[in-house]
Chain A
Amino acid sequence: GQNIDQPTEMTATEGAIVQINCTYQTSGFNGLFWYQQHAGEAPTFLSYNVLDGLEEKGRFSSFLSRSKGYSYLLLKELQMKDSASYLCAVVNGGATNKLIFGTGTLLAVQP
């Protein structure tokens, strides 16, 4: 079966660091995306990992371990505007780039 698990909600303080974890069990794997989604808006691309290791992009970093079926998104120097849902999505492989999404982690950044 296909299963992607993320915490439902997290709370963090402005200026702090937060790590959002994602574990997955899928029939195929061709990479993992992290998206940010503000309420009522479309998901926007944050990061893509296909090989093991850490990808850093400004305040955002994403890590992947394929052998453990595990990824995390690290957000540094949190800002109020980072309050959003963060979606972990696995590229299922094969000819299409079908994405299998987790339910998302709703992050609330408090002053």
Chain B
Amino acid sequence: DAGVTQSPTHLIKTRGQQVTLRCSPKSGHDTVSWYQQALGQGPQFIFQYYEEEERQRGNFPDRFSGHQFPNYSSELNVNALLLGDSALYLCASSLGQGGEAFFGQGTRLTVV
């Protein structure tokens, strides 16, 4: 069982650019949630995808968007990057929307 896998592990982007982060859920899981974790802070909920639809969204601007594919994998897109978007982006998968969340290793995004 590969668990939750995210790619890439590290990424450096320039202000104003766009970025796509990817997540493959744990085998058997159908729900993916994304979190942003700034340095020294706890993770903040961005949104959750289930049945290829965004089901709930945290307090993040429309620059943050996502997608879920039929195989349950997911992408997080961030447009018009700001320096403040630098963070560890965590993907968590679960079986059903209310299931226990298993976290991936995260993608460390640095915006310069």
Contacts and interface: CB of A to CB of B under 8 A. Distances in A.
Given A42-B103, A45-B102, A101 B33 contact: no
B42 A87 contact: yes
B100 A98 contact: no
A99 B45 CA distance: 7
A91 B101 CA distance: 10
B7 interface: no
Contacts of B94: 97
Contacts of B40: 103-104
Chain B interface helix/strand/loop/mixed: strand
Nearest to A4: B42
Interface in A53-111: 87, 89, 94-104
A29 interface: no
Contacts, number: 67
Secondary structure at chain A's binding surface: helix, strand, loop or mixed? loop
Interface residues of B, number: 29
Contact of A42 (B41, B50, B105): B105
A44 B103 contact: yes
Nearest to B45: A98
A26 interface: no
Contacts of A96: 33, 48, 50, 55-56, 97-98
Interface of B: 31, 33, 35, 40-45, 48, 50, 55-56, 58, 88, 90, 92, 94, 97-106, 108
26 contacts: A4-B42, A40-B88, A42-B90, A42-B103, A43-B43, A89-B42, A95-B56, A95-B97, A96-B56, A97-B99, A97-B100, A97-B101, A98-B33, A98-B45, A98-B48, A98-B56, A98-B58, A99-B35, A99-B43, A99-B101, A100-B45, A101-B42, A102-B42, A103-B41, A104-B40, A104-B41
